[in-house]
Structure 1
Amino acid sequence: MTIRNLFPTPFYEGAIDPALLEDLEHSCRSLARDDRAGRAWSKEHGYAGYTSYASLTDLPQRDPAFDDLRRDLDRHVKAFAAAAHLDIAKRLKLDSLWVNVLKGGGHSGHIHPHSIVSGTVYVSVPPGAGALKLEDPRLPLMMASPSRLLDAPEETRNFVYAVPQPGTVFLWESWLRHEVPSGSAKTERISISFNYS
């Protein structure tokens, strides 16, 4: 008998230059304090903390720490695209980048339309912070498929949890549905999310 595992979903885990973390944390906390439009949007939309998602679109031009991060991410995204065998005519380019400062909150399941590669860099990950929850993209089509055994290999599960550390960078194709379940952290979880087109 032969079993072939088909249709893999690539997920990349790497680390940014550790020298960037201190500057990024300072910049993220400064934005959370000073970006009134971002704080207002976060409050209006019930976001448990702060995000620059709807307020600032020029972070790499605004702050050298984010530009240094962009250069580091370019390298990771290039490696991911090659490993995933993506047939890309032009080099992928950073399309958007935003800061998230959460205390106990989460992000419901979503995808990132109009992008090719998406990801998150983790700046501060306190104990109890939520992991990144990834959903099998075939899940809506499974109808009567039984659940998987508790000790099933990771590649056969319906959901996989990726637990970050400070400096972790996760990358995935933008169509992959993901979420951050609410955590129980007593301090703020700081991350920077982004899209490449």
Structure 2
Amino acid sequence: MQKTQPQIEALFPTLVYRAGLDRADSLNHALEQAAFELAEHDEAGRRWCARHGYPGYTSYGSLADLPDRSPPFARLKRLIQQHAARFARELHWDLRGGKPLCDTMWVNVLPEGGSHSSHLHTNAVLSGTYYVKSPPGAGPIVFEDPRHALMMAAPPRKASAPRASRTYVAQDPIPGTLLLWESWLRHEVPLNRAAGERISVSFNLVIG
């Protein structure tokens, strides 16, 4: 019998889609203005933030129709769905004639000292974030290995472990960048240490 060399096969990959949008500067300027206008006039949103201890402002608990309210959000929604269709192909999903549709979208204005604890997105297949404004030092988004809770007695990973083998992986919030991931992937935003607001638009997609 011929001797074979030991082999290691990578199974069950966790994919995160990243793309820089074309002509992002004008879109970001319009989204930034819209975000500050919402933060000023959305009284229901400010009450939701105060009730839930959310630093800064988010429209998550108050406005469900941003693309209908504002052309920049409508343009962003179209771009999200285009990129989500590409990501779905890379995931080898059998959509049976359907396609990813962005059904919820909310804006986040996170001030210095703000953070967003670890969470995942229920009732969706894809989730993501688009970065509008990010001062130097603004907190990244950090993804957690989805197998973490099942590792039991596994030793910790070395600090020198390659990116794909780490338990936590950070992605800097670069303005003009769109991120997409499967909605079961847990993530968080650590403390924003930047002197200024970190503005992003988060969203969920379903198959329709």
Q: TM above 0.5, one fold? A: yes
- Map 1:34-53 to 2 at 5 A: 34-53=41-60
| Residue in 2 that maps onto 1:158 | 167
Distance in 2 between residues matched to 1:118 and 1:10, nearest whole Å: 12
Contact 1:134 1:177 in 2 (8 A): yes
What is the DSSP-based 3-state SS (H/G/I as helix, E as strand, rest coil) of the residue aligned with 1:133? strand
| Residue in 1 that maps onto 2:122 | 113
**What is the aligned length?**
197
Supply the RMSD in Å over aligned alpha carbons: 0.9
| Residue in 1 that maps onto 2:19 | 14
What is the DSSP-based 3-state SS (H/G/I as helix, E as strand, rest coil) of the residue aligned with 1:120? strand
* Residue type of the alignment partner of 1:175: W
Runs of 4+ in 1 over 3 A off after TM superposition: none
Q: Which runs of 5+ in 1 are unaligned?
A: none
Give 1:16 deviation, angstroms: 2.4
What is the DSSP-based 3-state SS (H/G/I as helix, E as strand, rest coil) of the residue aligned with 1:73? helix
Structure (1 or 2) with the larger CA radius of gyration: 2
**Identity, % of aligned pairs?**
50
1:41-70 deviations in whole A, cap 9, x for unaligned? 111111110000010000000111100111
- Map 1:3-82 to 2 at 5 A: 3-17=8-22, 18=24, 19-82=26-89
Contact 1:133 1:178 in 2 (8 A): yes
* Residue type of the alignment partner of 1:50: Y
| Residue in 1 that maps onto 2:7 | 2
TM-score (norm 2): 0.92
* Residue type of the alignment partner of 1:105: G
TM-score (norm 1): 0.97
Contact 1:16 1:73 in 2 (8 A): no
Distance in 2 between residues matched to 1:87 and 1:130, nearest whole Å: 36
Give 1:86 deviation, angstroms: 1.8
Deviates more, 1:116-125 or 1:75-84: 75-84
* Residue type of the alignment partner of 1:29: F
